[in-house]
Structure 1
């Protein structure tokens, strides 16, 4: 048995709907299952989803205050008033700023941009920067990807005589800023058809209205910001990314080729994963460590040399960010392990001076990923006495609501169910930790097991190159439309081996009926020690095409494995105990010895771990891992042990000090000759002549002694001080009636079945015993 590392939540699509869509659209069953599982259950909705194009973009003037914003911007352009685009320091903010700067410059505006410094100004509108803009003669401020919470700052700008246009997508509070226009897809007085745009999507809408036509050249920037900001990829967001990816592969923008160069990819190979895992982190890195303005300059420049220089700078900062995150993560992990050596609590709160507050959110994510606990990571500032940081949560623990219960020690916090940011007094960190641990007491053990949602169950014969490659028809994948997670049930492991320099990866061949599939599990090398040949497993993962020397093959990238089948591990003949003892999991293990002399043989290798038959009744916990150190006295004895313990894994060592298998049982002709020899001589001195007779006949001393013992037990001979003589009137009996003969027969048969059988035959023997006992239990 192997338990999965995560909780599997499986969704099974309606098979009839799958068949209907597969037939109507002439697509693979794999694609049809994905569509149905994602709620596209009619042919029309599935076709519309797959064939969406720019006609699906909504009229920007459907957004509340769009007409006011456009009119004011055009007035500012006509009058050549100074305009400031006020952005944000993340990838969404950077691309939003670039989009707005591009359209305003194209239309002849007198425009510049400002992005607050994360450490000096914090997030969103800042009165100091607004004052600076005013001092530079600014008449109009247009925010992008921020501003909806800037109540006081907008009022400050109004008093200075500046107009402010807010364009944002973040959650709206109880009060709107008193801005000239608030362009927001979820404006409480608006009725825009799609409310989940990223900040860059809102900026694109304003650009669309200003250009009076769809700005195709800005879709690529909108795609980058949309993916990086993790907004749901459906509706217009999906359209932005789909069209943007098509534009990116041919984009003449120097920033794109420069980012591809530092990311080590070809521009024609750009996918949504490129944006999320390569471009996004590099753009975000600069805002986490310093001023984000160079990132905007990168996207605005037409100079390829400057673009390469700026992209290289982002890459260097990203590597610095990675190093900082690595160091803080190690220190945070060390804190957790030192504070909780006997098991982590239900909530983790760690804090330390000198931690960069710009990256603690990433560290919190890593803690949550490692321990699957709500995690808060705080940077302590000894000068201000404050603790500032970020939090990440798990299903079942609504982070914002739980933090809200501590408002008296959390003067500044914000977020949503799964993530939050906060500032509090450093002296209150311990109190917050204790409170949150207490608040999380209702989390069950199941809640604390990571969850993975699986939506596509497959049979192996459904998987081929065409089906996998056709999945790009459903791209882009991301938030709200996740990359499919595939589930294979009851597949056989026909071969398995550990790979990699450290043997920490896994390579398997899976079979089901006549179909086969290669599978690779990175970081799952240890599972190789837990699987035995031909075991049936359930496995989840991602399907990919593996191309080598021009040959393509389907391949499953394994994420998790489980099996309910018991397993037999063959460690017979491995004399070095250290070679196999380390493979036995420490919990719920029993090293069983059937014979009295066996514990002494293994005591130095397995101290205080060996159990004898008479100690089995004293076991207080379930036995998952049973190691059979030696041979039982009989099959029945072993079957009784298996029935009593019901182990999930059996490790067969079967040490046999005096194996009888290769001695075999002497033939009846040998017995007949020996009896006639003694009868003819009248007596035989075993002590003196045994070795000479054995050598003469080519027998072993042990075989000769065994035959004499059989004769003695049957009353055929007498033994007196080593002298053997024929008994007076011996009764007729079959040799097999002698107890020692029966014992030898049983021993040879037992060794043949357990010690010298092939793995296949041994497994079948155990299967029969285990299956019979399971049937007994169910009956």
Structure 2
């Protein structure tokens, strides 16, 4: 048995109707089922999803405040007013700023741009920066990806004579700023049909409205910001990102070309993962480590030479960021494990002086992934007492909603259900932690704190083909709201497995059904190789892809989790690992060691102190529970083994060593004719010194010396002879008895039979032989509840 490391959740879906999608649209069963489970159940819905393009975007003027914003921008351009673009320092903010710069350049406007320094100014518009803009002659400020919560700052800007257009996508607070116009689809009363645009999406909508045509030439920048900001890739986000990825692939912008080159993806077809894991993090690194300006300079560079210089700058900043994140994460993990045990803290809130506020968000994400708790990580300024925090959440805990209940402790905060940023006094950290933990206890179900893997659907091995996976790519781009499909392949045999990688920390496994085979790769799952037996029947969860190597293309599964729902037999009869080493590696409270021989017990006694040991079978009525059972040595017979195993409940794994120093299996058992001849020999001699002449007799007859000893012991037990100091004397008138009346003879035969069945059987034969004696705890019911019928 192998328990999954996460909760598996799969909606039990009846596929009554997906056959119509499959037939009418000429789709594979794989694609039609995914569409069905994700809610695209009609032909029209499925076609609209698969054939999404930029013609399906919404009219920007449906967004409340858009007309006022467009009129004011056009007025400012016409009157040659000075405009300030006020952005944010993350990848979405940089992308939004770049789009607005491109728009104002195209309009030949008089403008400048500004992104605050995360470390000295913090998030959002600030009064000193706005005052400087006013003094330098600006009359209009356009915020991008920020501003929705800047109530006092925008009031101050108005008093300075500035008019502010807010373009933002974050959750609006109860009080909105008194701006000239607010363009945010989440604003109360806004009728715009899609609420999940990133800041770059709002900026693009403004550009569309001002220009009067769809600005396709800005889609590459839009795609950088949208994917990096983890907004749902649905509706028009999906339509624009789908085209935007193509624009990124063929972009002639020097900044994009330099960025792709330094990421090592120049010349490739850009996919969402290239943006999410290579391009976006480098854009983010500038604002996280110093100022975001280099990233804007990169994306707006006019020539390749300049762009390459800026690309090098942000790449170096990214390398520095990676090192700092690793160090901070290590410190944060130690802090949690030392001071904030998970059973007492449903929400993790930790802070430290000296932590870099630019990377607390990444650290929070890593802690959430490791501990599966909502996390807030705070960088504390020891001089001012201010703590800047970044929050990440888990499904079921709405971070924005829960933080909103504590506004009295949070002078500044904003965000989404899954992430937020905040500023607070270091003296209120303990109070915030206490409140959030209490809120989690009251508002969130216990199961929400168990890591979960969402599974799209169960599939059969034969459904996984190169052509079906090629077709499945039509579902891309994948991301929030449209994640890469997760599949479960249930109850399938492992045909091979091994550890791979320079550190042997990855798992390569093959699943098989009849003639069908599927390669599986589990990154950082190498430890599972020791927890799985070959030919075990597993349920495997993961993402499907096509592996291309040396011109060959075949399907593969990227493993996320694995389960075996019945007991497993680990065949250690070849002693690949020593008995002592195996016992030491198993958890004390969950392990039982079965011992049958005195010598084995004496040898193992020093390492058995904390394990459950079954050695004396007289107390048969006692039952124990042990997930791990080690059979150390050979029993004298099968019934002795059965007696031991009958006392153990809830077996998940059985490690069979069956060590035996004196094997009988290859020793010939004397035949009845041998017994007959030997008895006649003794009767004729009347006395025989076995100790002196037994070996000579064995050589003459072609027997083993042990055979002479064995027959002598049997005759002695049956009272056919007496023995004194190795001298055998025949009894004159013994009672007539069969050889089988001798317990010694019976034990010999039973021991030999046990060796044949336990030591010299195949793996399958041994498992079949042990099956009736195992009282296991099956995972079938648990898994059935989690992933539906089929277990």
Q: Which residue of 2 aligns with 1:735?
A: 739
- Structure showing greater relative contact order (alpha-carbon pairs closer than 8 Å, 6 or more residues apart): 2
**1:592 and 1:118, CA in 2 relative to 1: closer, same or farther beyond 3 A?**
same
Q: Note the 1:159-178 alignment, pairs <5 A.
A: 159-178=159-178
Q: C-alpha distance in 1, partners of 2:566/2:387?
A: 50
Q: Which residue of 2 aligns with 1:42?
A: 42
Farther-moved stretch of structure 1 (629-638 vs 77-86): 629-638
TM-score w.r.t. the length of structure 2 is 0.93
Per the TM alignment, residue 372 of structure 1 is displaced from its structure 2 partner at its CA by 1.5
Q: C-alpha distance in 1, partners of 2:362/2:548?
A: 34
Per the TM alignment, residue 461 of structure 1 is displaced from its structure 2 partner at its CA by 0.2
Q: Which residue of 1 aligns with 2:579?
A: 577
Q: C-alpha distance in 1, partners of 2:692/2:724?
A: 13
Contact 1:456 1:487 in 2 (8 A): yes
Q: Which residue of 2 aligns with 1:360?
A: 360
Contact 1:392 1:418 in 2 (8 A): yes
2:16 aligns to what SS in structure 1?
helix
Q: Which residue of 2 aligns with 1:589?
A: 591
Contact 1:12 1:457 in 2 (8 A): no
Q: Which residue of 1 aligns with 2:680?
A: 676
Q: Which residue of 1 aligns with 2:150?
A: 150
Contact 2:567 2:777 in 1 (8 A): no
**1:718 and 1:408, CA in 2 relative to 1: closer, same or farther beyond 3 A?**
same
Kindly provide the CA deviation profile for residues 156-177 of structure 1, in whole angstroms up to 9, marking residues without a partner as x: 2222222222222222233333
Contact 1:248 1:267 in 2 (8 A): no
Per the TM alignment, residue 405 of structure 1 is displaced from its structure 2 partner at its CA by 4.8
Does residue 480 in structure 1 map to residue 484 in structure 2? no
Q: Note the 1:543-582 alignment, pairs <5 A.
A: 543-574=544-575, 576-582=578-584
Contact 2:56 2:239 in 1 (8 A): yes
Q: Which residue of 2 aligns with 1:777?
A: none
Does residue 761 in structure 1 map to residue 765 in structure 2? yes
Q: Which residue of 2 aligns with 1:377?
A: 377
Q: Which residue of 1 aligns with 2:472?
A: 471
Farther-moved stretch of structure 1 (262-271 vs 441-450): 441-450
Q: Which residue of 1 aligns with 2:528?
A: 527
Q: Which residue of 1 aligns with 2:491?
A: 490
**1:413 and 1:583, CA in 2 relative to 1: closer, same or farther beyond 3 A?**
same
Q: C-alpha distance in 2, partners of 1:559/1:222?
A: 31
Contact 1:535 1:565 in 2 (8 A): no
| RMSD (CA atoms) | 2.4
Q: C-alpha distance in 1, partners of 2:208/2:730?
A: 116
Q: Note the 1:505-524 alignment, pairs <5 A.
A: 505-524=506-525
1:203 aligns to what SS in structure 2?
helix
Q: Which residue of 2 aligns with 1:20?
A: 20
Unaligned runs of 5+ in 2: 779-791
Per the TM alignment, residue 640 of structure 1 is displaced from its structure 2 partner at its CA by 3.5
Kindly provide the CA deviation profile for residues 704-761 of structure 1, in whole angstroms up to 9, marking residues without a partner as x: 1111122233343343443323332444443233221111111100111112222221
Does residue 639 in structure 1 map to residue 642 in structure 2? yes
Kindly provide the CA deviation profile for residues 541-566 of structure 1, in whole angstroms up to 9, marking residues without a partner as x: 11111111111111111110011110
Q: C-alpha distance in 2, partners of 1:756/1:402?
A: 63
**1:24 and 1:78, CA in 2 relative to 1: closer, same or farther beyond 3 A?**
same
Q: Note the 1:152-301 alignment, pairs <5 A.
A: 152-301=152-301
Q: Which residue of 1 aligns with 2:59?
A: 59
Q: Which residue of 2 aligns with 1:702?
A: 706
Per the TM alignment, residue 680 of structure 1 is displaced from its structure 2 partner at its CA by 2.8
**1:272 and 1:694, CA in 2 relative to 1: closer, same or farther beyond 3 A?**
same
Q: Which residue of 2 aligns with 1:629?
A: 632
Farther-moved stretch of structure 1 (129-138 vs 661-670): 661-670
1:554 aligns to what SS in structure 2?
strand
**1:446 and 1:657, CA in 2 relative to 1: closer, same or farther beyond 3 A?**
farther
Per the TM alignment, residue 185 of structure 1 is displaced from its structure 2 partner at its CA by 2.2
Contact 1:539 1:560 in 2 (8 A): yes
Per the TM alignment, residue 694 of structure 1 is displaced from its structure 2 partner at its CA by 2.4
Kindly provide the CA deviation profile for residues 479-529 of structure 1, in whole angstroms up to 9, marking residues without a partner as x: 111111111111111111112222211111101243210111111111111
Per the TM alignment, residue 608 of structure 1 is displaced from its structure 2 partner at its CA by 4.4
Does residue 745 in structure 1 map to residue 749 in structure 2? yes
2:268 aligns to what SS in structure 1?
helix
Q: C-alpha distance in 2, partners of 1:48/1:410?
A: 43
Per the TM alignment, residue 672 of structure 1 is displaced from its structure 2 partner at its CA by 2.4
1:237 aligns to what SS in structure 2?
helix
Q: C-alpha distance in 1, partners of 2:175/2:413?
A: 18
Kindly provide the CA deviation profile for residues 368-410 of structure 1, in whole angstroms up to 9, marking residues without a partner as x: 2111122222222221123222222323444344445555544
Farther-moved stretch of structure 1 (334-343 vs 687-696): 334-343
**1:387 and 1:146, CA in 2 relative to 1: closer, same or farther beyond 3 A?**
closer
Q: Which residue of 1 aligns with 2:102?
A: 102
Does residue 685 in structure 1 map to residue 689 in structure 2? yes
Q: C-alpha distance in 1, partners of 2:570/2:411?
A: 58
Q: C-alpha distance in 1, partners of 2:190/2:440?
A: 39
Per the TM alignment, residue 435 of structure 1 is displaced from its structure 2 partner at its CA by 4.4
Q: Which residue of 2 aligns with 1:114?
A: 114
2:17 aligns to what SS in structure 1?
helix
**1:342 and 1:356, CA in 2 relative to 1: closer, same or farther beyond 3 A?**
closer
Q: C-alpha distance in 2, partners of 1:81/1:773?
A: 76
Q: C-alpha distance in 2, partners of 1:424/1:184?
A: 26
Kindly provide the CA deviation profile for residues 292-345 of structure 1, in whole angstroms up to 9, marking residues without a partner as x: 122112111220011111111111111111111111111111222333589774
Which of 710, 717, 722 aligns to 1:713? It is: 717
**1:30 and 1:323, CA in 2 relative to 1: closer, same or farther beyond 3 A?**
same
Farther-moved stretch of structure 1 (257-266 vs 625-634): 625-634
1:16 aligns to what SS in structure 2?
coil
Per the TM alignment, residue 217 of structure 1 is displaced from its structure 2 partner at its CA by 0.5
Q: C-alpha distance in 1, partners of 2:209/2:407?
A: 43
Does residue 504 in structure 1 map to residue 505 in structure 2? yes
